Amino acid sequence: MGAGGEESSFSLCVFVWEVAVPEYSPLTFRVPEPPVRPGGEPDFSKFDVPKAGTVRRPEVDSDPDDMKDLATSLIRVLNRNAEAVGPWAGDIDTDLLLHGLRSMMRTRSFDERMMTLQRQGKTSFYMKCTGEEAIAVGQQLALLPGDMNFPTYRQQGLLICQDYPIVDMICQILSNERDPLHGRQLPVLYSAREYGFFTISGNLGTQYIHAVGWAMASAIKGDTKIATGWIGDGSTAENDFHAALVNASVYQPPVVLNIVNNQWAISSYQGIAGGDLATFAERALGYGIPSLRVDGNDFIAVHQVSKWAIERARRNLGPTLIEWVTYRVAPHSTSDDPSKYRPREESAAWPLGDPILRLKNHLIQRGLWSEERHKQAEAEFDEEMRLTAKEAERYGVMGEGASDRDIFEDVYKDMPPHLSKQRQELGV
């Protein structure tokens, strides 16, 4: 430095780096909004509905790498004329179809009656599954005894199609003296081990990883039973969704992972769960899990795709994820008013229609059912539910008859001293 002696030997080397700072406009924050709000015209123009029968059906032992297209398409079987068409139509026993239709109808009648009970003040709370009946019923009828469902609160069809005693369901909803859960649980959070129906939790998404763990256990023991996990579109955002998928990916247990995309999580449309930039089915692809996207209002598609995934699981070919595309017709719960956040007419405009109507029309078209029989069945199921509700009410309504001693039982297998003491304190 300063070798020439001309520069000051103490000159500070300051680099003034002339950077051309590009001009950026201010950032904007994205908050997804549904296409329409109350007062607007329902708009499903961006919802792509491929024709029934156009999506291919791979062999169950196909490489997951070769099925990626199925996560973005939409498997449909029943066409506009109510005919079952395409590679997924297969052949379903007509008794099963009739049982499926009746079970969906009974589920709807049940929901209506329970809504009435809630409005009459006989129970505190209820949740309908109107419009989603095909999914639970269609899949359950593809399962075998001993398989275990890990349901959410909107799969009552799993029980109803197995002829689980309706009176017990209602007693649970009424929290009365015959409530199988002794008045401890909020209405609709059923538990029915003998019917392959895992105890429902109020905490969302938790049971998805339980299904995977249960399936891992079945594989560890060399069993042939499989598990099914259930989750809604909104709850896929929960951490346990990832926990389930990563474990299902790693251990390849026999599990069918269902996502019921009914477009709504209470008031949040599915875009708030990240559903507007990718399908929910696509989530599985990053885990190497085969994934199918299916018309959830098409009973035959539901049943056939379920059978396919169940077969994969049972043949030790690993997990499958299925996104069932449907629409939550009913309010989220009896505490909800959807007209505050979505157009009243939106459910009527839903392009995939109504699952009961679609199967009904298919069966009529095949000469297996008629308008008259349908009306008769409707009346019969409404009456069944009315009478069964009456029967259940005899055991008490709104918590009548639930024993106070039961507060302290089953916290542990054996009651520890501090609980015995507290029970004495309550004087029971």
Q: What residues line the site for another protein (CB under 8 A)?
A: 148, 150, 180-182, 184-185, 189, 191-193, 198-199, 201-203, 206-207, 209-221, 227, 239-240, 242-244, 246-247, 250, 410-413, 416-418
What whole-number distance in Å separates Cα of residue 22 and Cα of residue 26?
A: 12
Smallest distance, another protein to C-beta of residue 408, A: 10
Q: In this structure, what is the dihedral angle of CA atoms 381, 383, 385, 389, given to the nearest 10 degrees?
A: -170
Q: What is the dihedral of CA 215, 297, 130, 291, to 10 degrees?
A: 30
Name residue 13's amino acid.
C
Tell me the backbone φ, ψ of residue 100, rounded to 5 degrees: -60, -45
Closest CA to 88 of 70, 106, 68: 70
Least distance to another protein, CB of residue 157, Å: 20
CB of 280 to another protein, least distance (A): 19
How many beta carbons lie within 10 A of that of residue 176, not counting itself? Answer: 23
Q: Output the smallest distance, CB 196 to another protein, in A.
A: 11
Three-state SS for 116? helix
Quick one: 159 or 330, whose CB is closer to another protein? 159
Shortest Cβ 404–another protein spacing (Å): 15
Distance, CA of 174 to CA of 159 (rounded, Å): 17
Backbone angles phi, psi at 49, to 5 degrees: -115, 100
Q: How far apart are CA 424 and CA 415, in angstroms?
A: 12
Residue placing its CB nearer to another protein in the complex, 111 or 168: 168
Greatest CA separation for the chain: 111
- Rank residues 382 and 406 by Cβ distance to another protein and give the closer one: 406
What lies within 8 Å, CB to CB, of 407 at 6+ separation is 184, 423, 426, 428
Query: Of the two residues 82 and 217, which places its CB atom closer to another protein in the complex?
Result: 217
Instruction: Please identify, using beta-carbon distances, which residue of 195 and 341 lies nearer to another protein.
Output: 195
Q: Which is nearer to another protein, 192 or 330 (CB)?
A: 192
CA 368 vs. chain centroid, Å, equals: 30
Residue 234 CB, nearest approach to another protein (Å): 16
Task: Supply the minimum distance, in Å, between the C-beta of residue 396 and another protein.
Answer: 17
Tokens read off for 362: 């298919």
For another protein, give the closer residue by CB, 57 or 184: 184
385 by DSSP, 3-state: which?
A: helix
The nearest distance, CB 247 to another protein, in angstroms, is 5
The residue (of 40 and 180) whose beta carbon lies closer to another protein is 180
Encoding tokens for residue 181?
């859960």
* Separation of alpha carbons 254 and 30, rounded Å: 39
**Least distance to another protein, CB of residue 255, Å:** 9
Closer residue to another protein (CB): 287 or 299: 287
Of 50 and 180, the one with the shorter C-beta distance to another protein is 180
Instruction: Identify the CA nearest to 319 among candidates 307, 327, 310.
Output: 310
Give alpha helix (H) positions in 315-354.
Answer: 346-349
- Region of 2 (left: φ > 0; alpha: ψ -120 to 50; beta: rest) is left
Q: Cβ of residue 148: shortest distance to another protein, in angstroms?
A: 8
- DSSP, collapsed to helix, strand or coil, labels residue 227 as strand
* CA pair distance 150, 205, nearest whole angstrom: 10
Which is closer to another protein, CB of 70 or CB of 211? 211
CB of 188 to another protein, least distance (A): 13
389-392 contact pairs (CB < 8 A, 24+): 389/113, 389/114, 389/117, 389/170, 391/167, 392/167, 392/170, 392/171, 392/173, 392/174, 392/176, 392/178
